[in-house]
Amino acid sequence: MRQSLPEDYPNKESVKRTGQALSKRQALAGDSVRFAPLRCICQVLSYARRHLHESGLLRNKAATSRPPRDKESNEMSIRDTQAWKALEQQLEAGMRDVHLKTLFQQPARFKTFSLDAAGIQLDLSKQRWTPEVRENLIALAREADVPNAIQRLLSGERVNLTEDRPALHTALRLPRDAKLEVEGVEVVSEVHATLDKMETLVDKLLDGQWRGATGKPITDVVNLGVGGSDLGPLMVTSALSDFEVKNAHEVSTHFASTMDGSQLADFLSWLNPETTLFILSSKSFGTIDTLSNASTALDWLAKRLGGDEELIKRFHFVGVSTKPEKMTEWGIAPANQLLFWDWVGGRYSLWSAIGLPIAIRVGMDNFRRLLAGAHAMDEHFRTAELEENLPVQLALVGIWNVNFLDIRSHAVLPYDGRLKHLPGYFQQLEMESNGKSVTNDEQQVDYSTCPVIWGEIGPNGQHAFYQLLHQGTQPVACDFLAPINRYNNVEDEHFREDLMAQHRLGLANCFAQSRVLMLGDDAVKSDGTPPSYKRYRGNQPSSTMLFDSLDPATLGALIALYEHKVFVQGTIWDIDSFDQWGVELGKKIATETEEIIATQQGLDSLDDSSRGLIESIWRGQQGK
């Protein structure tokens, strides 16, 4: 006999409703189609479970404030998608153990896995994947709704869900004649108005027309900022050192970020206060690291130049922030304020007025070329099919490494000394963006997210940590980066030849290292079996990025490539790549701890270790 179903049993209509009854976040994230078929299955499972609980056949789990993701939730994990399961099957069917040397028996791997866009050639053939794995990864991107997410990002939807705002760094590099209206405001004209104000300021400095309080032209600019207000400008000014403005009044740029004052103290020991300008770079204008450096700099100027503090601020300080009122309160004259917008994340802000030190160093034309290069990559990201899309492919291979091959360490290895700050810059970009473990629906993730990003100039790393890459126990994914051309414009012929030979040496090492990491012992023919300590197992995956030369446009495209890679991975992991709540608690506790150290009160509220350490400071500072 056929039993009639209970009223609350999921039927066609209720399943449809569930698919539609999305949380505000999902709706904002355009998540309406995501995992829809799986939601139906889930709802049936949820029904069964609920009734088993009610009948006492299943015990209730202890309630927690943030329950681990389980089948009772309507929110599906990316792990429940068909593509994820297919990838797991591929892993079990041999991909987990297959060696890169075996994969390289497939013909034309380089052609199969090479991509090109905006001046960057990306070789993904040394990754431990096959065309079939790549197909499933693309299917995964589709199931995670990546194509729509890209359009939402670029059109200015509020993709930063926890802070309820867009993440529109791409708008900062739109050309002047572009249009982008976001929530009723035409942003492109605002962006270009700020760029124009920045240009006026840069020209004044480079023409020697910006004078200090005693009338002497400014010769040194010190950027006081930290995190995104430091790392981007620092990295780019170093990377574009060959593009320094020539035939202009010479202005040097310096960076001081550390709150302990050590970098600043060094600069202040030799800079001339009469000719030094400070840029206070802070999106929030509330970061203690920067404000403490600013206060020390102000005291240094006031002590040496004497006179009116207001005057000193007017001649020796520029502010870059989203908070004009805080800059004014600090004493920055409105004419010296450059603004940007809260829809620009700190680690995505070098394209805004935060890039002022870059423009001072390489000139505004080159700064605009940097923006144009990034825009070219944005256009590629927006229009290219997933199969051809560099940021998407870079992201997908990262997902394969982290979530399937379980490789959680990722080294960035530039073969160009000018890119020495690139690993540090990518560290913030990736780890602050995707170092998260809670999904957009506030569920605990049940998969790994961002790997540990680290790195160093490749040739220097060879003499430091490559030993571990070749013979250690950790799997590490590597990104090798190198320009094809270097030194071609050096005027002195002999010097040019020497330097070009050095560049060739660098390239040879770059390719040799990635080859040995891939093939291990098989990279060379050997007569016998070497002892175990001389053996190389290989099978460390890597990507290689080549670019014609390290110029502003290519660098812009390269940075944008990684920004978008981060976004695609964040979309697949279903996390907010644009907030950074994980840094807040430490700041709060530091403020309280500082109070305890300074007042010598409140020690009892701390744990035993912190008490012991603080007492050591007190004893040590009293010379006991």
Residues acting as catalytic residues: 432, 463, 587
In the complex, minimum distance from the CB of residue 234 to ligand F6P, in angstroms, rounded to a whole number: 12
DSSP alpha helix (H) spans, 117-227: 131-143, 146-155, 187-206
User: How many residues sit in the footprint of ligand F6P (CB under 6 A)?
Assistant: 14
Ordered DSSP codes for 459-491: HHHHTTTHHHHHHSS---EEEEEEES--STT-S
Q: Does 229 bind ligand F6P (CB under 6 A)?
A: yes
Q: Does 288 bind ligand F6P (CB under 6 A)?
A: no
Classified as helix, coil or strand, 223 is: strand
In the complex, minimum distance from the CB of residue 250 to ligand F6P, in angstroms, rounded to a whole number: 28
Classify residue 542 by its DSSP letter.
E
Q: Does 434 bind ligand F6P (CB under 6 A)?
A: no
Say if CB 279 and CB 321 are below 8 A apart: no
Which is nearer to ligand F6P, 349 or 513 (by Cβ)?
A: 349
Q: Does 235 bind ligand F6P (CB under 6 A)?
A: no
Side-by-side strand order, sheet with 220-224: 252-256, 220-224, 276-281, 317-321, 337-339
Sign of the CA dihedral with 603 first, then 607, 612, and 617 last: negative
Which is nearer to ligand F6P, 294 or 555 (by Cβ)?
A: 294
Q: Does 318 bind ligand F6P (CB under 6 A)?
A: no
Ordered DSSP codes for 305-336: H-S-HHHHHHHHEEEEES-HHHHHHHT--GGG
Out of 290, 401, 403, 571, the residue judged to bind ligand F6P by CB under 6 A: 290
Q: Does 520 bind ligand F6P (CB under 6 A)?
A: no
Which is nearer to ligand F6P, 540 or 580 (by Cβ)?
A: 580
Classified as helix, coil or strand, 272 is: coil
Which is nearer to ligand F6P, 43 or 580 (by Cβ)?
A: 580
Out of 34, 39, 347, 564, the residue judged to bind ligand F6P by CB under 6 A: 347
Which is nearer to ligand F6P, 34 or 323 (by Cβ)?
A: 323
In the complex, minimum distance from the CB of residue 351 to ligand F6P, in angstroms, rounded to a whole number: 14
Q: Does 455 bind ligand F6P (CB under 6 A)?
A: no
CA angle 307-312-314, nearest 5°?
140
The region of 53-61, 80-88, 176-184, 278-286 touching ligand F6P under the rule CB under 6 A is 278-286
Which is nearer to ligand F6P, 132 or 592 (by Cβ)?
A: 592
- In the numeric block, the tokens 């170093």 are attached to 238
What residues pair up with 486 in beta bridges, in sequence order? Answer: none
CB burial of residue 301 (10 Å; 0-12, 13-18, 19+): buried
Rounded Cα gap, residues 91 and 403, in angstroms:
11
In the complex, minimum distance from the CB of residue 233 to ligand F6P, in angstroms, rounded to a whole number: 11
x/- letters, 45..84, toward ligand F6P (CB under 6 A): ----------------------------------------
Q: Does 524 bind ligand F6P (CB under 6 A)?
A: no
Residues of this chain that interact with ligand F6P (CB under 6 A) are 226-229, 282-284, 287, 290, 346-347, 432, 580, 583
